[in-house]
Amino acid sequence: MKKILIINGPNLNMVGIREPGVYGTETLASICEEIRKYAASLGLEAEFIQSNHEGVILDKIHSAKGEYAGAVINAGAWTHYSYALRDAIAAVKPLPFVEVHMSNIHAREEFRHHSVISPVCVGQICGFGSHSYILGVQALSNILSK
């Protein structure tokens, strides 16, 4: 069974509490359980990491090559300014990364419209709430089956 990594960045541990009108009321734990079940139905084993500390995420990405077949990443606010995160993803190529966001970042504040990680990811999915993760896993599964 291929292993995939699901990465959640800063403040995503507050999903279900933080801005429920934007992010919904599901907790990150319940979203991860949904992802785990869906990934298993596709023959994938999902592992999860969430951190509010950028270095923790960078270290995990650095160690991902050879351990995981691909990753789904919701980088939170780091999406818009973390060149360190962008460079870490680029460093583990050809490992495919799918960028996801629960909200439609293009319909929110101007600063959220630009992603510095999109150019090093295979694609971006946003605006479908927690289902964005499911769509991200589906996209990653399609890529890995080629």
Catalytic residues: 23, 101
What DSSP string runs through 71-97? Answer: EEEE-GGGGGT-HHHHHHHHHTTTS-E
Q: How far apart are CA 129 and CA 127, in angstroms?
A: 6
Environment class of 19 (CB within 10 Å of its CB; exposed 0-12, middle 13-18, buried 19+): exposed
Of 111, 118, 43, nearest to 85 by C-alpha is: 118
Q: Of 67, 73, 133, 140, whose CA–CA distance to 102 is shortest? A: 133
37 within 8 A of 63, measured Cβ to Cβ: no
